[in-house]
Structure 1
Amino acid sequence: MIKYVNTEVVFQEIPDETTLAINISGCPCHCPGCHSSYLWEDVGTPLTTTELEHLIQSNDGMLTCVSFMGGDAEPATVDQLAAWLHDHHPEIKTAWYSGRIRLSRDIDKRHFDYIKLGPYIRHMGALNQSTTNQRLYRCVNGDELEDITYRFWKK
């Protein structure tokens, strides 16, 4: 069972979206320099479909996207929550921020509109730097990943 610690409505994690970022605990990646090391511990509130519905309703009308920030310890659960979200709120896009280099086999790309892959590597920078190893993809046609990382870079 995955748990979340907090949420925040954000405008920069997914370009052109008003996103509910759900910070999931129990991260197994432990990236050096991680800005969210408080998420390494297994703490927080269980993230069930009932809880997800509550989070969506408490932000009613504001959201265009929900992003699962983490969940690498249980990608199948993240996938199930994204599938539920697509079925019950088709008007809301889904995203997943993973610290892994490759997409888990437990993830069905059809359940997501966006997927971020890659651990934070300090000397390479975050998503807003063109030297980053991290990539944000837009899911296209249910099976293709289009790299849109450049959308974070300043012109």
Structure 2
Amino acid sequence: MFNCTIPSIVFQEVPNQVSLCFCITGCQIGCKGCHSPELWQETHGHPLTNQTFTDLLTQYQGLITCVLFFGGEWAPLPLIEKLVIAKEHGLLTCLYSGEEVVAPQIIQHLNFLKTGSWQQEKGGLDNPKTNQKFIDVQTGKNLTHLFCSGEQHAAT
């Protein structure tokens, strides 16, 4: 099990999806300039049990199309459990990881994967110079371009 902050509905992190986003605490990367350094503390937030997760998915049923995790790859078993539950609810899944490589046993449960640490000089997914990548796991297609210059809206 791991902790997370209060989940939120997000619209831009996964192109063309309405996502319920969970920020998982205990990040071990510690990127300089991180927008949420409180997520480095494993004890920050509240425990995300499978029952609590299921209850939230039921609460938002029909309103969301995707479940997004900011982190959690450092706790693969509880993350995989949540990904499986999300799929059972008919939802797409996405992981935002600061790592370059994510374990295959996690990837097999994802529809989308963002990799790469935050590097202030290179910016995020919306910067053409970014080191980060947003991948459609099923096709292997790099979708990072959808975050630049309004292309996300053009793709709908």
Please report the TM-score for the alignment, with normalisation by the length of structure 1.
Answer: 0.89
CA distance in 1 between partners of 2:77 and 2:115 (Å): 16
Given that 2:54 and 2:85 are in contact with CA atoms closer than 8 Å, whether structure 1 keeps it comes out as no
1:145–1:77 CA distance, 2 compared to 1 (3 A): farther
Of all paired residues, the percent bearing the same amino acid is 31
Which whole-Å deviations, capped at 9, do the CAs of 1:16-35 have from their partners, x for residues lacking one?
00011111111111000000
CA distance in 2 between partners of 1:32 and 1:72 (Å): 19
Structure 1 position 151 matched with structure 2 position 146: yes
CA distance in 1 between partners of 2:52 and 2:117 (Å): 28
Q: CA deviation at 1:98?
A: 0.7
How many pairs were matched up?
A: 149
Counterparts of 1:1-155 in structure 2 under 5 Å?
1-42=1-42, 43-86=44-87, 88-90=88-90, 92-107=91-106, 109-140=107-138, 144-154=139-149
Which whole-Å deviations, capped at 9, do the CAs of 1:77-128 have from their partners, x for residues lacking one?
2122212221x212x1111111101122442x33111111111010000111
Given that 2:73 and 2:102 are in contact with CA atoms closer than 8 Å, whether structure 1 keeps it comes out as no
Q: Which has the higher strand share?
A: 1
Instruction: Please list every run of at least 4 consecutive aligned residues from structure 1 whose deviation after the TM superposition is greater than 3 angstroms.
Output: none
Code of the residue aligned with 1:145 in structure 2: it is: G
Given that 2:98 and 2:117 are in contact with CA atoms closer than 8 Å, whether structure 1 keeps it comes out as yes
Code of the residue aligned with 1:137 in structure 2: it is: I
Structure 1 residue matching 2:5: 3-state secondary structure: strand
Gaps of 5+ in 1: none
CA distance in 1 between partners of 2:78 and 2:140 (Å): 21
Structure 2 residue matching 1:77: 3-state secondary structure: helix
1:44–1:6 CA distance, 2 compared to 1 (3 A): same
CA distance in 1 between partners of 2:140 and 2:2 (Å): 26
Given that 1:76 and 1:106 are in contact with CA atoms closer than 8 Å, whether structure 2 keeps it comes out as no
Gaps of 5+ in 2: 151-156
RMSD over aligned CA atoms reads 1.4
Given that 1:2 and 1:46 are in contact with CA atoms closer than 8 Å, whether structure 2 keeps it comes out as yes
Q: CA deviation at 1:36?
A: 1.1
1:73–1:98 CA distance, 2 compared to 1 (3 A): same
Please report the TM-score for the alignment, with normalisation by the length of structure 2.
Answer: 0.89
